[in-house]
Amino acid sequence: MEAILPKALKKGDVIGVVAPASPPDLARIEKAKSLYEEMGLQVLLAPSVGKRHGYLGGTDAERVADLEAMFANEDVRGVFCACGGYGTPRIVDRLNYKLIAEHPKVFWGYSDITCLHVAIHQQTGLVTFHGPMLSSDLGNSELEGATLAGLSQIMAPRQQVFEQTRQPLRVLAQGMATGKLVGGNLTLLASMIGTPYEIDTKDALLFIEEIEEEPYRIDRMLNQLRLAGKLDDAAGFVIGNFNGCEPKKRQHSFTLQEVLDEYFSASGKPCISGFQIGHCSPALSVPYGAMAVLDTERKRFVVEAGVRGEGQ
């Protein structure tokens, strides 16, 4: 399916905030709103934001209704997720993807939102954005420059270049690869295998990130992707941040790096680890489904713009 770039946002535009997974912290959302308001954007909360239904941010029907209403609303130019947690796998098969395709907009989030990135892009072709969210990240504490810089990519088309100077990087396998950038949270990617919404990695650059999972669990999930052919299909690999993924309850364990080495070092496909993508600070933002180039010789990762200009 041909990729569709959403229109860049401009000053005065309205962005809608939804909570398609767990309940967000409203005080943190209020604090984070100022970041977007300083960019000249207006922030509108969906009706169900702040509701609680067990560990979910409202019932499945309420969360679906909020998402679809924000995409259908002609006054709303972007749809931003408040937080992750858990909940999007419950609604992925209930969304009206035809509606989303007819109203392509900036869509932003990560973590549990991985499920929606995969489904929306594969069902509609829309390029979406994997990046920090209002409640779980932007309203928490002081933000680093790289995190703030990533937020502005929705305002104008621009290529992004991630290099060694921004964070320590490690080459696991040499080479250069080009493809559209797909991936996200490893737990979500593994959980969708065997469903109609499993990720398509054919000739793509696969990026992964994770938080608070021990190496044996990382091993299990990577092995699931391997058995499903997702690692064989990919053109190369971008390894993001694995926050708190050290051995804890097992006395004898492989390290995280040993697990990653086993799956990627001998793959014969370009792979670099250490990118600050995921549950970390700074947290880099990348357009999901945009074309990208991974160059291990230069330790460089280049991603094309995820939005189009007004005249495009």
Q: Distance between CA 194 and CA 199 in Å, rounded?
A: 10
Name the one residue in this structure whose structure tokens are 């809608």: 16
Catalytic residue among 22, 48, 111, 267: 111
Cβ contacts of 257 within 8 Å, gap of 6 or more? none
Backbone angles phi, psi at 21, to 5 degrees: -120, -110
CA-nearest of 160, 159, 156, 158 to 13 is 156
Cβ contacts of 145 within 8 Å, gap of 6 or more? 282
Q: Extract the tokens encoding 125.
A: 């072709």
Instruction: Name the β-bridge partners of 17.
Output: 45, 80
Q: Distance between CA 238 and CA 270 in Å, rounded?
A: 9
Q: Distance between CA 161 and CA 26 in Å, rounded?
A: 34
111 is annotated as an active-site residue: yes
Catalytic residue among 209, 213, 214, 304: 209
62 is annotated as an active-site residue: no
Catalytic residue among 213, 214, 279, 285: 279
Give catalytic residues, as residue numbers.
111, 209, 279
